[in-house]
Amino acid sequence: MIRVAVGAGAIDVAAEMAAHHAGGHGASASFVGRVRGDGGLTELFLEHHPVLTPGGLEQLAAEAAARWKLAALTLIHRVGSMAPGETIVLVLASSAHRAEALAAVEFLIDRLKTDVMLWKREAFADGRVGWVEQRDGDHARAERWEQSAD
Partner 1 sequence: MALTLSYFAWVRERMGIADETVTPPAGVATIGDLIGWLAERDEPGTWAFSEPAQIRAAIDGRMAGAGALLPARGEIALFPPVTGG
List interacting residues with its own copies (CB under 8 A): 13-14, 17-18, 21, 24-36, 38, 84-85, 96, 98-99, 101-102, 105-106, 109, 141
Burial class (CB in 10 A: 0-12, 13-18, 19+), 6: buried
- If the CB atoms of residues 20 and 48 are measured against partner 1, the closer one turns out to be 48
Residues 76-115 as b or e (16 or more Cβ within 10 Å = b): bbbbeebeeeebbbbbbbbbeeeebbbbbbbbbbbbbbee
- Residue 85 binding partner per list its own copies, partner 1, none, with a CB distance cut-off of 5 to 8 Å that depends on partner kind: its own copies
| Residue 147 CB coordination number (10 Å) | 6
Q: What does 133 interact with, of partner 1, its own copies, none (CB < 5 to 8 A by kind)?
A: partner 1
Nearer to its own copies, 30 or 55 (CB): 30
Smaller CB distance to its own copies: residue 49 or 121?
A: 121
